[in-house]
Amino acid sequence: MSHPHPELTPPPPVPEGGLRVVPLGGLGEVGRNMTVFEYAGRLLIVDCGVLFPEDHQPGVDLILPDFDYLEERLDDIEAVVLTHGHEDHIGGVPYLLRRRPDIPILGSQLTLAFIEAKLKEHRITPVTLAVREGQSEQLGPFGLEFVAVNHSIPDGLAVVIRTPAGTVLHTGDFKMDQLPLDGRITDLRAFARLGEEGVDLALVDSTNAEVPGFTAHERDIGPVLDNVFAQAEGQIVVASFASHVHRVQQVLDAAALHERKVALVGRSMIRNMGIAADLGYLNVPPGTLIDVKSIADHPPSETVLMATGSQGEPMAALSRIANRDHRVSVGPGDTVIFASSLIPGNENSVFRVINGLMRLGAKVVHQGNARVHVSGHASAGELLYVYNILRPGNVMPVHGEIRHLVANGALAVQTGVPAERVVLAEDGVAVDLVDGRARIAGAVPCGYVYVDGSSVGEITDAELKDRRILGEEGFIAIFAVVDASSGRVITGPHIQARGMAEDDKVFDAILPDVTSALNEVVGRGNADTHQMQQAMRRVVGRWAAKRLRRSPMIIPTVVEA
């Protein structure tokens, strides 16, 4: 299996008759999935998602793919194809369309409905084309065919991309649930037909490649939810992704069976389920759904709240409930169900919310103590099936952390794909398909783009480091006034600290040393304020490290008078 080298150089121009594949997100992380295909100077994009921040990225709202690679080539983009409606596949679309609003968006009915609602909030009216399984479209040099796949959201599609360079299958997110709630299974007959036709390159979902066997059925969750509902004494709160239509359907069915009313909590949950119900993907039992504002009109034993926040997001409904910062409250006798899996990196945030809810007296049911969620991704056994059916000429694992990609590549090799034809790439690594062979051609710059409030791409890694230091180590400000002609210290130095456990008086011990350092700089002649500030920073920094065992952010200020 070929690994990207850390010193990869920019790729040369695409070879004549070759197809270039450049992932801009989703390889090396679970989120912000985006892949660019280039043939004959034209570009096709599959998915454009977001990544949610981790604890070491304070203040960040979202993380986008790096669009710099496309900045000078926006007019070359034929379309964006969306495989399904999860945020890690569609959340970045508004930010791409800010650069060119008329890029055509292709996707299934539900996926387009979700992205159109999102784009409306950004005041963008997109150019869309609804497609369904079995449908084919020709966009420039790209012949597209869409294949039904089963996932944890309805209407998922794999996409076949045909060019003179060869046939590519991008599976999108998928699993092979043989008893799906909506009866829509992954179309293995189409996969077999493609295998007979010949798949030159398969880009395959890696998320569960480390998990042996087969992913459990969605139907297995129904009886578990029924049992939890039967035992619950007070109100029930269920947390899930705002787009998990199947899970909401199961909650509605269980609530109707146990004569409970359901209120949706969270703007995105209300919006998405309204869309799903309008389009017929969600069947709401009559009289079951109520407005959250009327929840107090019903006894807690007769209510269910369907909320966002299953990943511990600070501003989502469940986190705010745990922090007593929401109109909804929980306490003894209430039951909270986490009906989703843990996205890698979110563990601490989720456990923090679980602990907060249990501190309030609630019973918490989660994947660790009950089967209240099954994954939406194919496990190793299913991936082996797919490779044996497709018999691809080359494999490029996608969607996952490095460990997932490596595990997926190993599965392909087990089924007979030559190891040298399994390409393990990361974000930004360009892979060329030429004469039926996929090879790494180089790498393009591809960093994280942070959305922080209204700013996009303004926050750098260095600034995030400053935020972490401020949050973890504290802040010290040192101020002194010096005579402009003599350099003599007139006022100060004064020290103020924030985020430190110590009282400011603890710094009195270091003030004589700071003054001595300033006088020493002045005594050398030709001293400027910058040199004085650096001298103060060094003295205080060494003292804080030795005495306080801290490395705070130190801001020295010298004013000439």
Task: Name the binding residues for substrate.
Answer: 373-377
Phi, psi of 443 (to 5 degrees): -145, 145
Alpha-carbon distances of 209 from 60, 192, 213, 215, 490, rounded to whole Å: 30, 21, 10, 11, 67
Please choose, from the candidates 190, 172, 187, the residue with its C-alpha nearest in 3D space to the C-alpha of residue 46: 172
Closest CA to 171 of 193, 211, 203: 203
Rounded to whole angstroms, the Cα distance separating 189 from 314 reads: 44
Give the integer Cα–Cα distance in Å for 556 and 535: 9
How far, in Å, CA of 43 to CA of 70, rounded?
A: 9
Residue 12's Cβ-count burial label (10 Å; 0-12, 13-18, 19+) is: exposed
Give the number of residues written for the chain. 561
Helices 188-197 & 380-390 angle (0-180, nearest 10): 40
d(CA 426, CA 22): 9
Measure the CA–CA gap between 229 and 218, rounded to whole angstroms.
17
Beta strand pairing call for 42-46 and 34-39:
antiparallel
Strand partners, 430: 442
CA distance 219 to 355: 29
Residues in binding site: 373-377
Q: Which residues contact 196 (CB under 8 A, 6 or more apart)?
A: none
Alpha-carbon 218 to chain mean position: 23
> 126: which residues sit within 8 A by CB, 6+ positions away?
93, 97, 101, 103, 105, 115, 116, 119
Report the helix count and the strand count for the chain, using DSSP H and E.
14, 26
Residue 480 β-bridge partners: 558
Contact assessment for residue 364 and residue 357, using Cβ atoms and an 8 Å cutoff: yes
Distance CA 133, CA 79 (A): 18
Q: Which two tokens stand for residue 20?
A: 């270039």
Q: How far is 368 from 366, CA to CA, in rounded Å?
A: 5
Residue of 148, 217, 214 lying closest to 178 (CA atoms): 217
Q: From its phi and psi, is residue 366 left (phi > 0), alpha (psi between -120 and 50) or beta?
A: beta
Half-sphere exposure of 556 (CA within 13 A, CB side): 22
